Amino acid sequence: MIKITFPDGIEKEFKKGITVLDIAKSISDGFARKVLSAKFNQDIVEASTELKVDGKILFYTWNDDEGKAAFWHSSAHVLAQAILSLYPYAKLTIGPAIENGFYYDADFGKRTFSENDLEELEKKFKDFASQKSVFNMRESSKKDALNYYKKINNPYKIELIEDLDDGTITFCDHSDFTDLCKGGHIPNTGLIKAVKLTSVAGAYWRGDETNNQLTRIYGISFPKNKDLTKYLDLLEKAKERDHRKLGKSLELFTFSEKVGIGLPLWLPKGTELRDRLELFLKKAQKKAGYEQVISPHIGNKELYITSGHFEKYGTDSFQPIETPNEGESFLLKPMNCPHHCEIYKSKPWSYKDLPKRYAEFGTVYRYEQSGELHGLTRVRSFTQDDAHIFCMPSQLDKEFKNVIDLVLYVFESLGFDDFIVQVSLRDKDKPEKYIGNNKSWDLAEKAIINATKEKGLEYIVEYGEAAFYGPKLDFLVRDVLGRKWQLGTIQVDYNLPERFELTYKGDDNQLHRPVMIHRAPFGSLERFVAILLENTGGNFPLWLTPMQAIILCVSNKYEKYAKKVLNYLENNEIRASLDARNETIGKKIREAEMNKIPFMLIIGEKETLNNNVSIRKHGHGDIGDKSIKELVELVKFEEKNSLSSKEF
């Protein structure tokens, strides 16, 4: 007999060799039908896995992220089966679950696979899913695994196996299909009731542009048809709110291949939007005791060798710039923190001076692969609302909590109420990924967890997601499709102060190391604007929108009065413009609605005679006539209400 401990702490005895699914049936047959996968002790297991030792069990259903991951990972296997059925010459590579669905990468050789082929492939997928084939895991020796893929001439799988240790290799079989796999599947293919193959893209093998280009086929699947219908409806909504589409129609930003892919160009309206976001945060930061600094866009390679960034991210940076005569080597700035360390180091500090809080809207550069670039969410040049706090260890808790308050204030002010708080810790099994010693890491991780608990935040823990120099508290915002995007982040770092030999003189007259907090409430301005665009549909809060009002003349003869109104609005710090074109008023109104301008002020003969304006509100229509003074009061009132209810 073995003892199984359930999530509620209850222990039960079962016969050795009982399957996960049978344990679920001991709760109820109805519950067992919902179980997709499980966690036994620290391992993800199948419903068919036989348990032979004592341990703790946790079941996953469709309501759990882990359950969805098993569902979509299993769907990737069915997709691979369908690919080989229709294209037996294709070479399969990898097919993981992703945040919304799954994909499989395949080499189709000289044949081109396109969007037009998805329908036939999807039909074959459905045929295979309906067979209710059971997923079974089996172990394989390295020799047998290599021989299998040599026999079918798949160099991609051979390369993967060569990196694995003998005794750790497993395959997953279902129906007549087998694939190299570490596990994590649903009981059988019949649970996949609805599927949609959504798109086709190119991808380089192992993400390396020097390797073969593969075809990546994306899909999503569900246990119920109504879930797919709901998702497709959301997908249509997301297409309308795609920040790339809105950014173009609202004239916020653009891209140019001549400038370089992944390098956004901000247009006047987009620049106004960015400026207002920066002013908003600078105002809050000034109240919180931050000082603004500016650092250059490049730095000596030695700077990033000292910080450790070159060793960890050198391949993700642009190639070093070599000076022709001096023998120096520079990099486009990938991070702001090494520069801020040198700013701190420019003079001696006493404990009485700390904390020092340096803030900068610093533009950094990362060499993202072309296939991974996506609008503003994945670019090669982006601006971080970066700040670094240098403090004594005794000040760390208070400073960290203050930064949490700042992030929450930013999110509330921008309407981001659907987010996840994630404590990102190191993977202790992979110490080579990190710098510093265990003692410093333990202190940093404990500080983050304690501060987060004391602020009353619900959080999840993810191991292996820490920065190479310290653990993080990440704020992941959901978009209209429910996808998670990391925006705000707060990091505790004992290591860079050590590497840069930063000091302060304590009250004991001895030199001590400060602790460093890295923080960015927006994260990246580019990504922040992208998610803000999609979540609001371009209907920004009134305090933020680049243009709050537009004056629309019925005809040119009322332009003189219209300019008087514009002047009054500008003197009262209301962002407005005048449309005096020789166009119909109907066309002007339609264009203003499309541009999502909150207030349309219509001026004709009646308004000129009465010294007032006729007001239309975006999305609401006509709201009546008001004097210019009443109009200003209305805009100011709504602007104030569009801000956070609290002052920072």
Question: 107, 179, 385, 386: which one is catalytic?
Answer: 386
Each residue of 378-401: pLDDT tens digit? 999 999 999 999 999 999 999 999
Question: 366, 378, 575, 588: which one is catalytic?
Answer: 366
Question: 518, 527, 575, 596: which one is catalytic?
Answer: 518
**Can you give the residue ranges of every domain in the chain?**
2-61, 66-240, 253-536, 549-642
Question: 337, 341, 391, 553: which one is catalytic?
Answer: 337
Integer-rounded Cα Rg, in Å, for the chain is 29
Give the distance, in angstroms, between the CA of residue 182 and the centroid of all CA atoms in the same chain: 26
Would strands 136-139 and 170-174 be described as parallel, antiparallel, or unpaired?
antiparallel
Distance CA 410, CA 642 (A): 13
Question: 285, 384, 422, 491: which one is catalytic?
Answer: 384
Which residues in the chain come in under a pLDDT of 70?
644-646, 648
Which CATH code is given to the segment(s) 2-61? 3.10.20.30
At the top level of CATH, the class of 253-536 is alpha beta
Question: 356, 472, 588, 616: which one is catalytic?
Answer: 472
pLDDT of residue 38: 93
Give the distance, in angstroms, between the CA of residue 294 and the centroid of all CA atoms in the same chain: 26
Each residue of 577-635: pLDDT tens digit? 999 899 999 999 999 999 999 999 999 999 999 999 999 999 899 999 999 999 999 99
131 is catalytic: no
| 113 DSSP 8-state letter | P
472 is catalytic: yes
144 is catalytic: no
124 is catalytic: no
Beta partners for 549?
A: 576, 599
At the top level of CATH, the class of 549-642 is alpha beta
Return phi, psi of residue 117, to 5°.
Answer: -90, -5
Domain 66-240 CATH assignment equals 3.30.980.10: yes
Q: Give, in order, the Cα–Cα distances in Å from 175 to each of 133, 136, 360.
A: 5, 10, 58
pLDDT of residue 368: 85
Question: 68, 388, 527, 588: which one is catalytic?
Answer: 388
366 is catalytic: yes
Distance CA 309, CA 70 (A): 35
pLDDT of residue 63: 93
